[in-house]
């Protein structure tokens, strides 16, 4: 079936004016001011008048298998379901393991990603977890990247955190080096997704890699950079002085921010005001991951669960509350992660790009319609396609 979206205000993410967009065979076929419907074909027409059309969102850090156990076995969070993502406009996801690399393993992560693909969205994975040495499928990070199609990088490797394996900076640099070379040989991103704790070392390991090796900062993406004002400031300096990329986590509950934690939308505004390029910032949800709270001695207090729907919530808040312009607010979930992950058909509305689109109400910016690879997933804010066990 062809799908024709009529009269939407298109943000590609740059504003393109009022346009019609024609989809077919999972791709965007044409964008023009007036595309006639052809009676000879089966054409589904969607009314885009009074709505804004965005590229489908990329979430580069989701615990698709669930995560946690940081409050013991009963706190292991459940696997994600398809609509947990599509209702939030996410059409491309990168799955990862976190603290638990034992009961959550790489074989299961790969199978889950393939299952999500069969259900209709695009899914990739990182090899590894918090632990060093890195736990892989084939035995090495490089081999996983070269031999397994879904593996686009390594992570989430934990540093500056009481839950990490406390690797040396040289061990960390070797992981980044192996991931980069594996990416080069496989034509993939070779991106290391890095869990940032709130320890005093902050981004020093990443600075070591950039300053003491030949590896560019585009092979590293430190996440949770907004977990504290102190870390956010270090991230701003890292981005400005060394050209590094930084990722803001959206899953924090804005009503219950911990100590000096910063909302992702606020962090985006602050970074832009301090001169960080809007091409160096990404958002990710940490969706379905456990959100443990520890006291100053590292004792577990309580646990929450990350939500993928928080990704667009923070984009929307950036526009409505922080007064960030729409195109700039969209880049952390569209063009920026697509570029870092080397996904050339994602993150933009243009002919021959994948048919991943999000239609939102012009006034409220609430999600109305979500299309993934040309297939209708959400309409009028409701899931019209559900996962296998939903």
Q: Does pLDDT of 141 surpass 80?
A: yes
Question: Where along the chain do its domains lie?
Answer: 2-54+348-383, 59-340
Q: What is the bridge-based pairing of β-strands 290-294 and 300-305?
A: antiparallel
Q: How far is the C-alpha of 359 from the C-alpha of 349, rounded, in Å?
A: 12
Tens of pLDDT, residue by residue over 74-111, are 888 899 999 999 999 999 999 999 998 999 999 999 99
Count Cβ neighbours within 10 Å for each residue of 166-197 and write b for 16 or more, e otherwise.
ebebeebbbbbbbbbbbbeebebbbbbbbbbb
Could you give phi then psi for residue 90, rounded to 5 degrees? -85, 120
Residue 50, beta-bridge partner list: none
Grouping H, G, I as helix, E, B as strand and the rest as coil, residue 18 is strand
Cβ–Cβ < 8 Å for 226, 220: no
Mean pLDDT of the chain: 94
Write out the CATH class of domain 59-340. Answer: alpha beta
Is 361 an active-site residue?
no
Amino acid 36: pLDDT: 81
Catalytic residue among 286, 317, 354, 356: 286
Tens of pLDDT, residue by residue over 245-269, are 999 999 875 555 666 889 999 999 9
pLDDT classification of 18: cutoffs 50, 70, 90: very high
Q: How far is the C-alpha of 280 from the C-alpha of 246, rounded, in Å?
A: 6
Amino acid 357: pLDDT: 98
Amino acid 217: pLDDT: 97
Q: CA 153, 155, 160, 164 torsion: positive or negative?
A: negative
Q: What is the mean predicted confidence (pLDDT) over 274-283?
A: 98
Q: What is the mean predicted confidence (pLDDT) over 32-45?
A: 78
Domain 2-54+348-383 has CATH 2.30.40.10: yes
């Amino acid at each position: 079936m062809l799908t024709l979206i009529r009269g939407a205000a298109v943000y590609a993410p740059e504003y393109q004016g009022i346009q019609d967009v024609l989809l077919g065979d999972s791709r965007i076929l044409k964008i023009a001011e007036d595309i006639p419907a052809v009676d000879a074909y089966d054409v589904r027409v969607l009314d885009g008048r009074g709505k804004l059309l965005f590229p489908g969102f990329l979430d580069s850090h989701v615990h698709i298998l669930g995560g946690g156990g940081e409050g013991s076995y009963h706190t292991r969070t459940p696997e994600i379901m398809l609509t947990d993502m599509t209702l939030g406009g996410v059409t491309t996801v990168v799955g990862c393991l976190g603290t638990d690399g034992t009961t959550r393993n790489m074989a299961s992560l790969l199978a889950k990603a393939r299952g999500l693909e069969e259900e209709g969205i695009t899914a990739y994975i990182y090899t590894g977890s918090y632990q060093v040495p890195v736990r892989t499928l084939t035995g090495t990070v490089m081999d996983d990247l070269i031999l397994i199609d879904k593996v686009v990088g390594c992570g989430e490797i934990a540093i500056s955190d009481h839950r990490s394996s406390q690797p040396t900076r040289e061990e960390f640099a070797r992981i980044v080096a192996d991931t980069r070379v594996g990416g080069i040989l496989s034509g993939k991103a070779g991106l290391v997704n890095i869990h940032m704790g709130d320890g005093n070392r902050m981004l020093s390991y990443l600075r070591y890699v950039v300053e003491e090796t030949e590896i560019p900062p585009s092979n590293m993406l430190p996440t949770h950079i907004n977990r504290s004002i102190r870390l956010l400031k270090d991230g701003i300096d890292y981005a400005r002085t060394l050209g590094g990329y930084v990722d803001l986590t959206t899953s924090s509950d804005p009503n219950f921010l911990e100590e000096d934690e910063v909302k992702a939308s606020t962090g985006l505004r602050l970074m832009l005001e301090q001169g960080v390029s809007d091409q160096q910032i990404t958002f990710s949800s940490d969706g379905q991951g456990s959100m443990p709270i520890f006291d100053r001695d590292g004792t577990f207090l309580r646990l929450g669960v990350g939500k993928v729907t928080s990704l667009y919530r923070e984009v929307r808040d950036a526009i409505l509350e922080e007064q960030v312009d729409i195109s700039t607010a969209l880049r952390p979930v569209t063009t920026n992660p697509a570029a870092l992950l080397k996904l050339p058909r994602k993150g933009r509305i243009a002919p021959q790009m994948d048919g991943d689109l999000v239609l939102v109400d012009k006034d409220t910016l609430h999600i109305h319609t979500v299309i993934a690879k040309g297939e209708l997933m959400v309409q009028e804010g409701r899931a019209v396609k559900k996962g296998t066990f939903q």
